[in-house]
A and B are shown apart, each in its own frame.
Chain A
Amino acid sequence: MADLTTKYLGLSLSNPLIIGSSGLTDSVDNIGELERAGAGAVVLKSLFEEQIMMEVDASLREAYQNDMIYSAKSETLDYIDIHIKERTLSAYIELIKEVKNKVMIPVIASVNCISSAEWVSFANQFEEAGADALELNIAILPSDENTGPESIENTYLDIINRVRSQVKIPVSVKISPCFTNLAMMVRKIADTGINGLVLFNRFYTPDFDINNFSEKSSNTFSTPSEAGNVRRWMGIVSPRLKCDLAASTGIHNSEDLIKQLLAGARAVQVVSTIYKNGRDQIQKMLGGLNQWMDEKGYNKIDQFRGKMSQAETSNPAAYERIQFMKYFSEIQ
């Protein structure tokens, strides 16, 4: 049996398989089951500032339409955003405390904020509640034609710096690939001294129904093909950076897991495959990793991590190939 122990964000994990932020990680019971099923760590379901604001808006709408809820002149309604925020935050902090009481595996709190002032206060409270680390879920879709790329990038860096200056627990950030120059962005993020970087955040994509012209949801789950992009960038940036890297999106089976480790990841985050295949998938994936390591003669992950990264692979140029050209198609 190989030794799967891994260090991620300075935390000791029994294996590199982390359950990512999702509905799987939103309750004490669920997380307990995931630990029992062998997960190396969990990232709690993200606390969304936007969701809080949406809840506030919904409350306000309800109140104005139905004066049975709040009268328009009530003080409570006037400060409803504070009340809802406090309630949601309290519940999340309760969750952190309860989970920490129940499980031994590392628990990473996750927060998604859209206003920069809130980040720090949330982060502080999670640290106090006992979270082992923090994952900043900064997701900005560059759809505003008036906001330049530098401005967006500075927002990320500003948030990261502010949070890091306030908390002592390890901090990581999960990003999307939507940057003009991803390599430069990743470098800037790593230079802040952040403990970890998660590639990549997977955006929800809206869809619509062509028959009744209404909005519908789509692509709830990832597909393995989406892991390719993660792998590419993991391979490119992992040799360059000191911070820990985690891979996320499209990692469904042990082969996907092994590939990310080979590309240079310290850990992987999985969600969709657990939804689809159940918690047993954890053991299947770890079992596959074990078996492969035995076959190849590895007994520690350190021995092969990054072996196929751009720095170590025999054909580094392959990482930069973006066109489907006949010349390359013969090289597999």
Chain B
Amino acid sequence: MKLSLPEKQNRNMETTQDILKSERQQSWREDLRKSMKAKERTSRERVKMLEQDPHIRNKNHTEVNVGLTEEMAIKEAQRCLDCVDPTCISGCPVNINIPKFIKRIEQGEFLESAKVLKETNALPAVCGRVCPQEVQCEASCFYVQKLKKDPVAIGHLERFAADYERNSGNISVPEVEERNGIKVAIIGSGPAGLAVAGDMIKWGYDVTVFEALHEIGGVLKYGIPEFRLPNEIVDVEIENLRQMGVKFETNFIVGKTSSVDDLRKEGFEAFFVGSGAGLPKFMNIPGENYRRIFSSNEYLTRVNLMNAANPDYDTPVFSGKNVAVIGGGNTAMDSVRTSKRLGADRSMIIYRRSIEEMPARVEEIKHAQEEDVEFMNLNSPVEYFADENGNVNKMRVQKMELGEPDSSGRRRPVPVEGSEYDVEVDTVVVAIGVSPNPLIPASMPELDVTDWGTIKVDKDSMQASIEDIFAGGDIVRGGATVILAMGDGRKAAKGMHEYLKEKVRNK
């Protein structure tokens, strides 16, 4: 049994300063830099993504962002200064080699650009669409940091390269090392699990992903709507993994269908738990169990995963004319914009802080506003009322004002006495966060978990308190982003690789 040396992959995963420097000195990069003066590059405005008209798109489920043309992409790539010290990379949770992929676009080598992305990111088409670049790579861009200008549109460029490759049919399948026959089990096929799968398969492991639902992709499929991330795109990325040799088993709940111990007996040597934060949270206010009050998970799963809005599909959903969505994050935006597409006259966001403080991606808020979503900020529901059938028909809301800051510096919302008023609603979606899925921790009582039910892991190796178990994504973070889940997945893969090398050595 031969184990691959991680060093070669290491280089691609952890872009060290030396490697970056030497790559930057390659002739093709130098030529590009010489081809245009820095002054000309910085004089340009940031590219504007082509979008569907808001009043057309708020009635359909096709992607809002249409994409950049090749010309637009090259022009935007030219804005990138190919900095000596590329601060953008450190802003990326998976340390994508940003200058390199952007310069390939400038060069016109779009397929090469996609290859660069795939070196560090198994799902570039996904990240380009859903990452909050404005607080990650783009926030660290030289343009923002030093020039106080709009950053290079790194997200749009990433999406461009990934889409180009996909549409060309020339999808690159990364090299896979010689098979070593060691079985690893990945629990959960969401972004964290897929990221681990992507790395482990490259290093020659025998990888099986176990998924509880009937579809692969986790939150990418059930949570994020078609108009932001088409399921078809997720499927292409998954097919890529299949091509590399990853096995997928759906309708398999580890902890119920088989236990981790059962799988150990079947020869699995290490496990990655990426079962996500599935448990919905409610506010526990009176009337919250009336009909047509949903958790965002239920609402989105019916529409995104079960295609409930399509009459050909059997799963029903109720989405009415006056829809209130409680919350201020991406899930709330997804829910409220979905309700618009399902025919609501009023799609309202009820959020207890101001619009500037909403944690949702800036682009989602902007798109939502364009689509006629009503933002009722500084409001919070206190009670729901229903008709004689139990269908919610009214929501009592209380106004809030911002008080003293809490320890994070954000001002605390304080209820304004006597400010309650009623709003007519026929559907409510509660999107105030999720908590880790309790199945796995419950099935392994020896596993160290926090009060919140998140699995405790070592920050660097992502190893849990049981040595053959690693974890990442929402099950560790309690409700985060796709890219952070992927970053965890990559770290965990490294940790698992190290652990398995030791294990094999000691046998």
Which positions in A face B, CB cutoff 8 Å? 53, 56-58, 60-61, 63-64, 66-83, 86, 115-117
Other-chain residue from A57, A61, A64, A67 in contact with B484 (beta carbon distance below 8 A): A67
Q: How far is the CA of A64 from the CA of B406 in the complex (A)?
A: 12
B433 touches A73 (CB 8 A): no
Q: Name 25 A/B residue pairs within 8 A (Cβ), A-sorted.
A: A58-B407, A63-B408, A64-B408, A68-B459, A69-B478, A70-B478, A70-B480, A71-B477, A71-B479, A71-B484, A73-B361, A74-B359, A74-B478, A75-B330, A75-B434, A76-B281, A76-B434, A76-B435, A77-B479, A78-B327, A78-B359, A81-B406, A83-B433, A115-B414, A117-B417
Q: Is the interface of B mostly helix, strand, loop or mixed?
A: loop
B331 within 8 A of A: yes
Q: What string of 1s and 0s marks CB contacts (under 8 Å) between B329-357 and chain A?
A: 11110000000000000000000000000
Q: How far is the CA of A53 from the CA of B412 in the complex (A)?
A: 10
Given A70-B477, A71-B484, A86-B284, A78 contacting B329 (CB threshold 8 A): yes
B489 to nearest A CB, angstroms? 14
Q: How far is the CA of A77 from the CA of B457 in the complex (A)?
A: 19
Q: How far is the CA of A74 from the CA of B476 in the complex (A)?
A: 13
**Highest count of chain A CB atoms <10 Å: which of B431, B476, B479:** B479
B479 touches A74 (CB 8 A): yes
A60 touches B406 (CB 8 A): yes
B277 touches A76 (CB 8 A): yes
Other-chain residue from B135, B327, B361, B408 in contact with A75 (beta carbon distance below 8 A): B327
In residues 415-442 of chain B, which contact A (Cβ within 8 Å)? 415, 417, 431-435
B132 touches A73 (CB 8 A): yes
Q: How far is the CA of A67 from the CA of B488 in the complex (A)?
A: 11
Q: How far is the CA of A72 from the CA of B125 in the complex (A)?
A: 23
Q: How far is the CA of A182 from the CA of B459 in the complex (A)?
A: 56
Which positions in B face A, CB cutoff 8 Å? 132, 135, 277, 281, 283-284, 327-332, 359-361, 406-408, 412, 414-415, 417, 431-435, 454, 457, 459, 476-481, 484
Q: How far is the CA of A56 from the CA of B452 in the complex (A)?
A: 13
Given A67-B484, A68-B459, A83-B433, A75 contacting B477 (CB threshold 8 A): no
In the complex, the chain A residue whose C-beta lies closest to that of B282 is: A86
What 4 A-B pairs come out closest when comparing CB atoms?
A: A76-B433, A75-B329, A76-B479, A71-B480
CB neighbours (8 Å) of A80 from chain B are 433
B416 to nearest A CB, angstroms? 9
B435 touches A75 (CB 8 A): no
B408 touches A60 (CB 8 A): yes
B415 touches A117 (CB 8 A): yes
CB neighbours (8 Å) of B132 from chain A are 73
B431 touches A75 (CB 8 A): yes
B283 touches A71 (CB 8 A): no
A75 touches B415 (CB 8 A): no
In the complex, the chain A residue whose C-beta lies closest to that of B432 is: A79
